[in-house]
Amino acid sequence: MGIRDERVLRAVEQVPRQLFVPPAMRGESEADRPLPIGYGQTISQPFIVAFMTEALRLEGAERVLEVGTGSGYQTALLGLLAREVFSIEIVPELAARAAEVLLGPMHLGNVRLRVGDGRQGWPEAAPFERIIVTAAPATIPEPLVAQLAPGGRMVIPVGADPEVQSLRLFQRGNDGVSATVDLLPVRFVPLTGDS
């Protein structure tokens, strides 16, 4: 499907998606589409998860901030591909379920989870070389821009239309100059608390 980064493809092979979907949905866990995980939220389509992960261009030494842990599936891939992952989820029940899988069967000791509003980022752990956001704000939250390290990359769906948003790559140059590229039209749940 156009994903070429070998490390990303290997990580997708290593993470069983069925661990992250509710028992009633397990028969469909291999389908390339989003699935409901409760609380009005979804586990993202595997292609989109792989596409966003590839766009981060992880080499293994990065500290990554993820906003929207959800099921923890994307978090698991990040945990395999980066040095340290800081992931924030606003629904406590989803964060608890993700923690069970990430720390249990996935044995990912480099993942830290927090319940809260990810729009504020994780200031004590900043700056991050990579940021990934898995719910859509109308505009990129300023604290996330501030917490992106020079030379860093942020992948984020942006747009107020609930039907379609633009998946954007925001890059901060080492010279402080920023650039934004539209990658793909996508459909994500809204980032809660957006104004």
For residue 192, with 0-12 CB atoms within 10 Å meaning exposed, 13-18 middle and 19 or more buried, which class applies?
middle
- In whole angstroms, the minimum distance from the beta carbon of 83 to ligand SAM comes to 20
User: Which of 94, 106, 111, 158 contacts ligand SAM by CB under 6 A?
Assistant: 94
Distance between CA 125 and CA 26 in Å, rounded? 35
Instruction: List the one residue out of 89, 10, 4, 126 whose CA is nearest residue 55.
Output: 4
Distance between CA 142 and CA 146 in Å, rounded? 6
> Is residue 177 left, alpha or beta, with left meaning phi > 0 and alpha meaning psi from -120 to 50?
beta
* Cβ-based nearer residue to ligand SAM, 70 or 79: 70
Which of 25-33, 102-110, 116-124, 158-166 is the region at the interface with ligand SAM (rule: CB under 6 A)? 116-124
Tell me if 117 contacts ligand SAM by CB under 6 A: yes
Distance between CA 79 and CA 77 in Å, rounded? 5
Tell me if 147 contacts ligand SAM by CB under 6 A: no
Contact of 192 with 117, CB cutoff 8 Å: yes
Which of 4-12, 24-32, 56-64, 186-194 is the region at the interface with ligand SAM (rule: CB under 6 A)? 186-194
- In whole angstroms, the minimum distance from the beta carbon of 135 to ligand SAM comes to 4
- In whole angstroms, the minimum distance from the beta carbon of 165 to ligand SAM comes to 12
Residues 6+ apart with CB under 8 A from 115: 88, 89, 90, 92, 95
Q: Which residues does the annotation mark as catalytic?
A: 44
User: Which of 54, 62, 89, 129 contacts ligand SAM by CB under 6 A?
Assistant: 89
- In whole angstroms, the minimum distance from the beta carbon of 148 to ligand SAM comes to 17
Tell me if 38 contacts ligand SAM by CB under 6 A: no
Q: Considering only residues 53-82, where is the footprint of ligand SAM by CB under 6 A?
A: 67-68, 70-71, 73-74
* Cβ-based nearer residue to ligand SAM, 5 or 117: 117
In total, the chain counts a number of residues equal to 195
User: Which of 54, 56, 134, 148 contacts ligand SAM by CB under 6 A?
Assistant: 134
CA atoms 8, 169, 70, 124: torsion sign: positive
